[in-house]
Amino acid sequence: MSEPAENAWERSSPESVSSRRRWALLAVWGPGLVVMLADTDAGSLITAAQSGAQWGYRMVLPQLILMPILYVVQEMTVRLGIVTRRGHGALIRERFGRGWAWLSALTLFASAIGALLTEFAGVAGVGELFGVSRWISIPIATVMLLGLALTGSYRRVERIGLAIGAAELAFLVAMVMARPQLDQLLKGLTSMPLGNSSYLVLVAANVGAVIMPWMIFYQQGAVVDKHLASATIRQARYDTATGAVLTQLIMIAVVVTVAATIGSSQGSASLETVGQIASALTPYLGRSGGTILFGLGMLGAALVAAIVASLAGAWGLAEVFGWRHTLNQRPNRETAKFYITYALAHLIGAALVLGSVDLVNLAVDVEVMNALLLPIVLGLLLVLEARALPQQWRMSGARKYITRTLCLLPIAFGLYMVPRALGWA
């Protein structure tokens, strides 16, 4: 009897088999890239723009330092999710009890709502750049985001998120158009005036803009929903590392673009909204660079961050309360609570922005809350890594101490920012 055709084909085509294996490994990629693109959300980009305007190229080095910190934090979530096959909230509940789990999940959801306010404000700002009312842009964005979750496939959501987030690459084009002076950039890399309180506060704001609690919940939930096996951890690490570098390059691109233009002549310019930043860039980059490129990048950042923040909040609550939660199953009686939570996050965020809530004070409150969450979230993450994983998957030796030291930096800056945001210092 002749051997099956597929076996004969595999034996006669080793290159094809190798090619399929490579594609299978690349299929692991996605959660790290999506969560990192979401990290450069509307609020983060405005913070980067303010950094470039006020301190020029001296704000580039902090962004470079944040790359390894961002990677080690998210890499721990990858191992925890893949090895334990549990989301972050579920692990906290199992290891520390429902009290800690409820606290982390509820504050996470509040943080996710705060993030969504920033993203919808960014969408509204981009729409207004092109003469579109927020009463049109925000409902359209809300319907699109709600419909995205109903596709019945995590992988489809991930691919759409990557496609939307790719618009952020427009900032790299804008940086080239700004023609930064290399000698000034190199000079800025050698200067970090940490003795200046206003510089230190802005560094702390950048730390808070890069290390966000909902990112941990999202990536751990994403690798679980994607059913990744332990054999894929190396590729998942590459995915996370690539995302960490890419997101910080985008932040650097915004800092450098603004430093080379606005920062060189009007560093005290007010840069609190999308419109103000675009208007300030237009004299230097023209309408294509100042409005179209910046608007396109901001829109991509806001939408992909809205996807990630809302899913992180919904996943976190579902894990704590034991609800079934997966994007691989359309809404039904089992998944209804998860999808309702996801929908409510968007509807609340959209309603608050349309209602013209005082977003400036609200943004400060969200920053304070995120700063307060960092010690709790990163502390729990480190403890989970040391206790919830089998011995062979835990950190050891120098790597363990380096990672813990890197995690202490955002915790310290987060605590430093709290009294200043509250006006106590």
Residue 265 has pLDDT above 70, yes or no: no
Name which residue leads in pLDDT, 67 or 415.
Answer: 67
Provide the residue type at 97 as one letter. Answer: G
What's the rounded Cα separation, in Å, for the pair 271 and 202?
A: 14
Q: Given a cut of 80, is residue 410 above it in pLDDT?
A: yes
pTM assigned to the model: 0.85
Across the range 10-25, mean pLDDT stands at: 52
For tokens 């705060």, name the residue: 114
CA distances from 236 to 30, 80, 247 (A): 8, 12, 16
Q: How confident is the model at residue 105 (pLDDT cuts 50, 70, 90)?
A: confident
For the segment 269-294, what is each residue's pLDDT rounded down to a tens digit? 556 677 778 877 887 788 777 788 88
Helix, strand or coil, per DSSP, at residue 83:
helix
Residue 268 has pLDDT above 60, yes or no: no
**Alpha-carbon torsion (338, 344, 347, 350), positive or negative:** negative
Collect all residues with Cβ–Cβ distance below 8 Å to 145 and sequence separation of at least 6.
303, 306, 307, 310, 346
pLDDT per position as a tens digit, 385-402: 999 999 999 999 999 999
User: What average pLDDT does the structure give for the chain?
Assistant: 82
- Residue 198 confidence (pLDDT) above 90: no
Full DSSP string of 115-174: HHHHHHHHHHHHHHHTT--HHHHHHHHHHHHHHHGGGS-HHHHHHHHHHHHGGGGHHHHH
Per-domain boundaries in the chain: 30-422
Percent of the chain with pLDDT over 90: 22
pLDDT at residue 253 tops 90 = yes
Q: Which CATH class is domain 30-422?
A: mainly alpha
* The 3-state secondary structure of 388-420, one letter per residue: CCCHHHCCCHHHHHHHHHHHHHHHHHHHHHHHH
